[in-house]
Amino acid sequence: MDYFIEPVKSDCEDILSRFQRTESVRYEEFATIWRKMDFPSIFYGKMPANETRAFCRLVLTTAYPFLLPPYNFQIRVGGLYLLYGLYNTQLAVPKEKISIALKDWENIMKFLQDALSSQHYDVCYIFRQLISDKAFYFAAMPKQLIFQVKRKPKRQVVCEEFRDRPARVKELITSDTLEEIMNVQEHYEKLKAAISATPGQPDPAISLINKDLGTSLQNTVTGYQKWLDGMAGKKNESGDAVADPGEGTSQQGESSRRAELLASIKSKSYGQLVEASKSRRHRQVEMDPLASEAERSHEPTRKRMPSLKARTKKNLLSKGNLKQEILEATKQWRLSVTEEDKSERPRQKARFKY
């Protein structure tokens, strides 16, 4: 059954990214995409009854993580709608349930609270429907665990476009950590000056670190925040344009106003820090918002060395013509083999491969 995980996951990502493009959290938008994609057909196709059940369970457990962080609010709304759709269109009788883990419950409650305070009533209503349909198992874990230790554990890949981005930077660099970094930097510079031969001037040989570390970090963060706010603003504008003229507009407006407020609070806290550190360091700092651009796009990539087997094969076997023979020799595992057996060796069974 596990071979279905990947395709189901990419189908879910597909519908959610289409939903993301609408830049809306309205259920109507989702339902339109759902119908256009004929999503319920994911359950079609003949299967033995217990496999049907296992497949439904697999689909639901695959869709479940989209309801949780690190995905952003819009994707989580989409994830909830997706679960609602999948739960109600599945073919198992009685319906397979969605397992909610205890550790995720509080998170989901917070999410609903957010939805409610931004007046996204359709989100609350859909969740309420699932609850009253008894669609959930209140469980220990979101799936059954059978100690399936794999030799090559699969990394859980989070679709990057769906991530809740601002939170990551915010978590990493708070104004507290920034201040801490600056203090350390200052202390470090002083130390260097103290041990240097020319008093008051740090030895140029040990100036290995960017002197403006704190400031440039802070600029990067502020710049990023501004860029994000710009994006959010754009989103809200277009959202307003698309949304129906009734309650939709007021809701969108409401939530964007909230976002603006939040953003302004954030930028203020960074701004204050700039002032403080400047005064402390008695030095003018040049702003360079573009310099950080390159740093941001730079992501560490790691290249994997091919395996020993692959390297041997490449080095030895690809050169000579004796390739076939060698391969043949290592394949034979019996001491004596009849001629027919030999000729018959590469036997292929027409088995179905996923």
Partner 1 sequence: MAASGASASASDDVPTYEYIDINTKPFHVGTFEKFWKESLNPKYYSFQDVDQETEDEEFAAEIGILPETVNELKVTCSKDTLRCHPENQPPDTDVVPADPGLITLRMKKRRQDYKETLIRDSTSRQDFYATELEGLGIGKRPADLQDMVPEGEIILNVNVLFPILHERFKYFRARQTLHVLGSHRLTDLRDAICCLSDLQVSGEFSQTPDIAPEFISKDLFKSAFFFLEGIFYNDMRYPECKDLSQTIREWGESHNFPTFQTAKMEDTRFRDLRIKVGYPYLYCHQGDCEHVVIITDIRLAHRDDCLDQKLYPLLTYKHRMVCRKCGVCNLYISRWITTNDSFAPTDPCLFCEICFRMLHYDTKGNKLGQFLAFPYVDAGAFN
HSE value, Cβ hemisphere, 13 Å, CA-based, for 304: 4
User: By CB under 8 A, which span of 2-10, 193-201, 271-279, 340-348 interacts with partner 1?
Assistant: 2-10
| 101, β-bridge pairs | 139
| Binding track, positions 71-110, relative to partner 1; x by CB under 8 A | -------------xx--xx-x--xx-x-x-xxx-xx--x-
User: By CB under 8 A, which span of 146-154, 211-219, 277-285, 338-346 interacts with partner 1?
Assistant: 146-154
Distance CA 133, CA 131 (A): 5
Q: Contacting partner 1 (CB under 8 A), which of 64, 71, 127, 224?
A: 127
Three-state SS at 208: coil
Of residues 34 and 224, the one with the C-beta less far from partner 1: 34
Closest distance of CB 110 from partner 1, Å: 9
The two structure tokens encoding residue 36: 């256009």
Under rule CB under 8 A, which residues in 25-54 are in contact with partner 1?
A: 27-28, 31, 34-35, 37-46, 48-51, 53
Closest distance of CB 100 from partner 1, Å: 9
Of residues 48 and 300, the one with the C-beta less far from partner 1: 48
Under rule CB under 8 A, which residues in 159-178 are in contact with partner 1?
A: none
Of residues 65 and 166, the one with the C-beta less far from partner 1: 65
Taking CB under 8 A as the rule, does residue 17 contact partner 1?
Answer: no
C-beta of residue 85 within 8 angstroms of C-beta of residue 135? no
Under rule CB under 8 A, which residues in 263-322 are in contact with partner 1?
A: none
C-beta of residue 317 within 8 angstroms of C-beta of residue 327? yes
Closest distance of CB 154 from partner 1, Å: 8
Closest distance of CB 233 from partner 1, Å: 28
Closest distance of CB 206 from partner 1, Å: 44
Distance CA 126, CA 84 (A): 7
Specify the DSSP class assigned to residue 26.
-
Q: Rounded to whole angstroms, what are the CA distances from 175 to 221, 240, 347?
A: 10, 33, 67
Cβ partners under 8 Å of residue 97, min gap 6 = 60, 134, 135, 136, 137
User: By CB under 8 A, which span of 139-147, 162-170, 180-188, 316-324 interacts with partner 1?
Assistant: 139-147
Of residues 49 and 316, the one with the C-beta less far from partner 1: 49
Q: Contacting partner 1 (CB under 8 A), which of 70, 124, 181, 188?
A: 124
DSSP of 285-350 = ----TTHHHHHHH-----PPPPPHHHHHIIIIITTSSTHHHHHHHHH--SS---HHHHHH-S----
Distance CA 239, CA 252 (A): 7
Size of the site for partner 1 (CB under 8 A): 73
Of residues 134 and 234, the one with the C-beta less far from partner 1: 134
For residue 170, how far is the Cα from the chain centroid?
Answer: 16
Q: Contacting partner 1 (CB under 8 A), which of 1, 146, 157, 205?
A: 146
The two structure tokens encoding residue 346: 């590469």
HSE value, Cβ hemisphere, 13 Å, CA-based, for 137: 15
Under rule CB under 8 A, which residues in 197-236 are in contact with partner 1?
A: none
